[in-house]
Amino acid sequence: MLKISGRTLLDHALDRSVNAGVKTVFINIHHLAHQIIQHLNDRKDLKIIFSDETNGLLETGGGIVKALSHLGNSPFFVINGDVLWVDGPTASLDRLAQFWNDQTMDGLLLLHSTVESYGYDGVGDFLIDPNGILKRRPEMLISPYVYTGIQLLHPRFFKNIPNSPFSLNQLYNSSIERGRLFGIIHDGEWFHVGTPIGLNEAEVFFQERFPGLRHR
């Protein structure tokens, strides 16, 4: 619900989902769930289904598993609720869909340059080879790419899952071992807004680049 240029991070993500042709979204809710539901009550441009985790957080993996029965057998987008990005020449979600190869992939992550990320001062997450295959950042080293919180996953990615809440990182690791976790490099802007400095950088960027957004 944090706002950038007068619009919540959630709405920024939903706007880009609608532009990519997404018709239905599942939103996990827990903390201040009633505020999110109320905020989205008037949004009519897509179908919203809430997945309630107020009785216990399921973590990044378990939250998706809870919605799997509604998602069919095709790949689906997963977007973290606290991410903010600006598309490059081609919309990022469209690029993920276009790059997807059902024969070779179980997961496809959108990455961004570690040193060119707004508000981010971490050491990155992944290495990527010329074919897009991902490997983890070696310990004690800096990776050129950070995971953006935006991805395309296939339901088969969730085979042999734990019976308790779990992190997607467990599945990333097993998929990397099989050579089936891929990535593409984001060609727009990406913002880490987890700190006041990052939040301010994003606000300044959007006010300068999109001065009319606040009035939407």
C-alpha pair distances (Å), 57 with each of 13, 32, 42: 22, 13, 27
Average confidence score pLDDT of the chain: 91
| The pLDDT value given to residue 216 | 45
Look up the CATH number of the domain holding residue 207: 3.90.550.10
Q: What distance in Å separates the CA atoms of residue 16 and residue 93, rounded to the nearest whole number? A: 8
Mean pLDDT check: name the lowest of 53-57, 61-65, 102-106, 145-149: 53-57
Helix (H) or strand (E) holding 207: helix 196-209
Domain extent at residue 80: 3-215
Number of domains in the chain: 1
pTM over 0.75: yes
| pLDDT digit string, tens, across residues 154-206 | 999 998 787 778 899 999 999 999 999 999 999 999 999 888 888 899 999 99
Strands (E), the chain: 3-4, 7-8, 24-29, 47-52, 76-79, 84-86, 107-113, 126-128, 134-136, 145-153, 181-185, 189-191
Q: Tell me what percent of the residues of the chain surpass a pLDDT of 70.
A: 97
| pLDDT digit string, tens, across residues 60-113 | 888 888 888 888 899 999 999 888 999 999 999 999 999 999 999 999 999 999
